[in-house]
Amino acid sequence: MAHLGVERGYSEATLRAYGQDLLQFETHLLDRRKNPNKPGTHSRDDVRGYLAELHRRGVKRSSVARKLASLRGYYRFLIRRDIVKANPCAGVSNPRQDVRHPKVLNVDQALGLVDVSHEPDPRALRDMALVELLYGSGLRISEAVGLDLNDVDLGQGLARVVGKGRKQRLAPLTKASVERLRRYLLHRGAFSPIVQEQAFFLGLRGARLNRREANRIVAKLAAQAGIAQRISPHMLRHSFGTHMLQSGADLRSVQELLGHARLSTTQRYTHLDLARIVQVYDQSHPLAGKRDKQDRS
């Protein structure tokens, strides 16, 4: 775990998830009277049995795939240190994943959310600056709350963001975001920052705003905007990517803006544009309606 945190730069949330995965596998081995402290004796059947148990318990396929990835990484770590000779995960296939598309807001909903409040009090200014940043720049919530004061250059309209694996990128800021961030900074002192606190966004106790509080802020503003569905900060990021592509941005550029390591991750957003094209076709093409009538007959 120290290797993942220090050398690989994994986030605290990822470290907790990987640690829990390994503890669950340890429990599985103990239940079958296998010694977890002798990894050289672990076999492919042990791994497959663990995955089968997860399937019986109804664990989501995506979670099973992550747990398998945790085990693969663990044994690779042991191989590099000559603790074991072979990886028992070799030859074990990932479970077939369900095709899931990210949930997004439509443009009207997104614009309604970022314009829901114009109150001048410090909390409202902070909250609106946060949602404008999440949607306007497509940041992860961890990236937004992780910003320090010297990471944001309002003059240049850029924010230096630390993403997954501690990879840095520059995120452009919209004009509206620059204005709202500047107005919030003028009132940042109202949160009574603790000594030497460099966090850009502050919570009510003067320390760095945490993810849980940020989630509540987004949910509260969504309710005020009259959005019935449950809204998460990550949905704003998905909406940013989708709306950029629908407006004509190329896939590679959106990949860079979102900080995706693989283009395939960004490609998840393209299906929504295709769905819109098909809808326009069905509504506009003179043969589309005839085709539907023929199909029903």
Q: Which residues are catalytic?
A: 140, 164, 234, 237, 260, 269
Q: What angle do CA 207, 210, 216 make, to 5 degrees?
A: 125
Indicate the SS3 state at residue 262. coil
Spatial separation of the C-alpha atoms in residues 174 and 155, rounded to whole Å: 12
Other Cβ atoms less than 10 A from the Cβ of 201: the count is 24
Contact call for residues 19 and 2 (beta carbons, < 8 A): no
Q: Coil, strand, or helix at residue 191?
A: helix
Q: Is 270 exposed, middle or buried (0-12, 13-18, 19+ CB in 10 A)?
A: middle
DSSP secondary structure letter of residue 276: H
Burial group, residue 129, by CB count within 10 angstroms (0-12, 13-18, 19+): buried
